[in-house]
């Protein structure tokens, strides 16, 4: 389907909903993905597009493997610009900066002797599931090594989980980019809270040995983990404020229009039903892990590999990853 037809479809869908309160993220995703798809040739389009119900939509990974979707190095320069335009509809400026720094680290690994076929700043794929529309469910994914961003769109509603960010190295200790720590603020905030709670006699440490990896792994469905560490009903107002600030920092990678609903629940009904757990060393250069888990979400951070200089961060929705809960409700109402 070429650009004029796609644009007409997009425009009619937008005007069909005129008068409603639009989520600008949803409408901008439609515009950006429509233009991006229109720029592709037949081979690229075949690689990029999938049916919405294709199982590939939930087949997410964060290792340096070959993926489905159209790869960056299969795109011409102007198409790459359009692809970054689409990425920018889901992320904040902070999130986009973090994503590009993560991609840049692949060049650092290549320059240190990594296989150029594996350590490749253009080994990132874009996949679009369904037809961009304000009336039918659709979604898109931007994914490669240490980056998996998944967006599901139902009308004006955008679900941006699961979301994964990784950094190797977690901190660049030499070279022109020395000091770069894309996830450093989140790591430091977790450690600061852990130390504060220990001093207050409410230690969140559940193990002196850190788990080797995030516990939800790359499962398509995230499972709630055992309640460990310290529960939020035992925290003071200032301690809860510090805990919520870490959650907000993770959420700040994505646009507020996407995260508002999740954050509203966390800050209100779930604030007394969370736990904060820490495993491993409390030293900055020691292997460590922490998680924040609530009624229907889990955030995990692990920095254990490569002498504790290789970090993974993930935010999962225990009920609505890939919009499963929202889709179930949508299809039930549609069936009625």
Does 44 score more than 90 pLDDT? Answer: yes
Q: Is residue 336 part of a domain?
A: no
pLDDT in tens, 111-166: 999 999 999 999 999 999 999 999 999 999 999 999 999 999 999 999 999 999 99
pLDDT in tens, 267-301: 999 999 999 999 999 999 999 999 999 999 999 99
pLDDT in the model for residue 336: 56
Q: Are 160 and 324 contacting, i.e. CB atoms less than 8 angstroms apart? A: no
User: Distance between CA 199 and CA 194 in Å, rounded?
Assistant: 9
pLDDT in tens, 166-190: 999 999 999 999 999 999 999 999 9
pLDDT in the model for residue 18: 38
Q: Are 146 and 152 contacting, i.e. CB atoms less than 8 angstroms apart? A: no
Cβ atoms < 10 Å from Cβ of 196: 14
Q: Is residue 222 part of a domain?
A: yes
Give the C-alpha distances (Å, rounded to integers) separating 234 from 145, 203, 264: 38, 11, 21
Three-state SS at 288:
strand
Long-range contacts of 232-237 (CB under 8 A, 24+ apart): 232/271, 232/272, 232/273, 232/274, 232/275, 232/276, 233/272, 233/273, 234/202, 235/197, 235/202, 236/200
191 and 265 share a domain?
Answer: yes
251 and 142 share a domain?
Answer: no
Cβ atoms < 10 Å from Cβ of 219: 13
Per-residue confidence band for 246, with pLDDT thresholds at 50, 70 and 90: very high
Average pLDDT taken over every residue of the chain: 93
pLDDT in tens, 187-234: 999 999 999 999 999 999 999 999 999 999 999 999 999 999 999 999
C-alpha closest to that of 190 among 257, 246, 135: 246
Q: Is residue 231 part of a domain?
A: yes
123 and 199 share a domain?
Answer: no
Give the C-alpha distances (Å, rounded to integers) separating 158 from 60, 124, 222: 18, 22, 19
pLDDT in the model for residue 3: 42
Name, in order, each residue with C-beta under 8 angstroms of 236's C-beta and a sequence gap of 6 or more: 200
Give the C-alpha distances (Å, rounded to integers) separating 312 from 145, 200, 213, 323: 11, 28, 8, 23
72 and 41 share a domain?
Answer: yes
11 and 83 share a domain?
Answer: yes
pLDDT in the model for residue 210: 98
103 and 45 share a domain?
Answer: yes
Does 17 score more than 60 pLDDT? Answer: no
pLDDT in the model for residue 330: 83
> Which of residues 332 and 218 earns the better pLDDT score?
218
Q: Is residue 329 part of a domain?
A: no
Domain that holds residue 220: 184-319
pLDDT in the model for residue 189: 98
Per-residue confidence band for 20, with pLDDT thresholds at 50, 70 and 90: very low
128 and 232 share a domain?
Answer: no
pLDDT in the model for residue 281: 98
pLDDT in the model for residue 125: 98
pLDDT in the model for residue 335: 56
pLDDT in the model for residue 172: 97
Of 12-16, 250-254, 256-260, 281-285, the least confident: 12-16
- CA 62 to chain centroid: 11
Q: Is residue 255 part of a domain?
A: yes
The total number of structural domains in the chain stands at: 2
75 and 122 share a domain?
Answer: yes
C-alpha closest to that of 262 among 315, 332, 217, 185: 315
128 and 8 share a domain?
Answer: yes
In the block, tokens 């119900």 appear at 53
The percent of residues in the chain predicted with pLDDT above 70, rounded, is 93
Question: Average pLDDT for residues 318-335, to the nearest whole number?
Answer: 89
Does 15 score more than 90 pLDDT? Answer: no
214 and 83 share a domain?
Answer: no
User: Distance between CA 246 and CA 47 in Å, rounded?
Assistant: 37
pLDDT in the model for residue 1: 41
Q: Is residue 332 part of a domain?
A: no
pLDDT in tens, 77-117: 999 999 999 999 999 999 999 999 999 999 999 999 999 99
pLDDT in the model for residue 9: 41
Q: Is residue 85 part of a domain?
A: yes
285 and 151 share a domain?
Answer: no
Per-residue confidence band for 12, with pLDDT thresholds at 50, 70 and 90: very low
Question: 106-126 burial string, b = 16+ CB within 10 Å, else e?
Answer: bebbbeeebeeeebbbebbbb
- Phi, psi dihedral angles at 182 (to 5 degrees): -55, -30
154 and 190 share a domain?
Answer: no
Q: Is residue 301 part of a domain?
A: yes
């Amino acid at each position: 389907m070429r650009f004029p037809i796609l644009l007409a479809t997009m425009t009619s869908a937008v005007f069909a909903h005129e008068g409603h309160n639009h989520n600008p993220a949803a409408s901008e995703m439609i515009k950006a993905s429509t233009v991006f798809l229109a720029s592709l040739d037949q081979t690229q389009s075949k690689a990029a597009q999938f049916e919405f119900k294709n199982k590939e939509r939930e087949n997410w990974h964060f290792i340096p493997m070959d993926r489905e979707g159209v790869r960056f190095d299969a795109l011409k320069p102007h198409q790459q610009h359009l692809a970054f335009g689409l990425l920018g509809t889901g992320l904040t400026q902070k999130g986009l900066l973090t994503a590009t720094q993560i991609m840049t680290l692949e060049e650092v690994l290549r320059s240190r002797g990594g296989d150029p076929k594996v350590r490749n700043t253009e080994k990132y794929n874009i996949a679009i599931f369904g037809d961009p529309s304000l009336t039918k469910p659709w979604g898109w994914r931007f994914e490669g090594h240490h980056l998996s961003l998944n967006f599901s769109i139902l009308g004006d509603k955008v679900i941006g989980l699961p979301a994964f960010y990784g950094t190797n190295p977690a901190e660049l200790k030499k070279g022109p980019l020395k000091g770069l720590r894309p996830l450093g603020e989140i790591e430091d905030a977790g450690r600061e809270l852990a130390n504060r709670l220990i001093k207050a006699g409410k230690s969140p440490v559940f193990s002196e040995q850190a788990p080797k990896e995030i516990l939800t792994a790359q499962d398509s469905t995230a499972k709630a983990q055992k309640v460990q560490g310290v529960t939020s009903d035992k925290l003071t107002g200032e301690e809860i404020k510090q805990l919520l600030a870490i959650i907000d920092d993770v959420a700040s990678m994505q646009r507020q229009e996407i995260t508002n609903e999740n954050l509203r629940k966390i800050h209100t009904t779930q604030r007394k039903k969370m736990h904060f757990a820490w495993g491993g060393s409390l030293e900055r250069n020691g292997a460590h892990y922490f998680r924040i888990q609530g009624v229907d979400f889990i955030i995990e951070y692990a920095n254990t590999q490569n002498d504790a200089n290789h970090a993974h961060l993930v935010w999962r929705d225990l009920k609505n990853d890939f919009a499963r809960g929202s889709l179930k409700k949508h299809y039930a109402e549609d069936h009625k």
